[in-house]
Chain A
Amino acid sequence: DQQVKQNSPSLSVQEGRISILNCDYTNSMFDYFLWYKKYPAEGPTFLISISSIKDKNEDGRFTVFLNKSAKHLSLHIVPSQPGDSAVYFCAASSFGGSQGNLIFGKGTKLSVKP
Chain B
Amino acid sequence: DADVTQTPRNRITKTGKRIMLECSQTKGHDRMYWYRQDPGLGLRLIYYSFDVKDINKGEISDGYSVSRQAQAKFSLSLESAIPNQTALYFCATSTGRNYGYTFGSGTRLTVV
Contacts and interface: CB of A to CB of B under 8 A. Distances in A.
B73 to A, nearest CB: 17
A67 interface: no
B43 A43 contact: no
Residue from B41, B48, B99, B103 with most neighbouring chain A CB atoms (10 Å): B99
A12 to B, nearest CB: 18
Interface in B70-112: 90, 92, 94, 96-106
A46 B98 CA distance: 12
Nearest to B90: A43
A32 interface: yes
Interface in A80-114: 89, 93, 95, 99-102, 104-107
Contacts of A42: 105-106
Interface residues of B, number: 27
Contact of B103 (A43, A93, A99): A43
A104 B42 contact: yes
A43 B104 contact: yes
Residue among B31, B42, B98, B100 with the most chain A CB within 10 A?
Answer: B42
Interface string A34-67: 1010000111111001000000000000000000
Interface of B: 4, 31, 33, 35, 40-45, 48, 50, 58, 90, 92, 94, 96-106
6 contacts: A34-B100, A42-B105, A43-B104, A43-B106, A100-B99, A102-B101
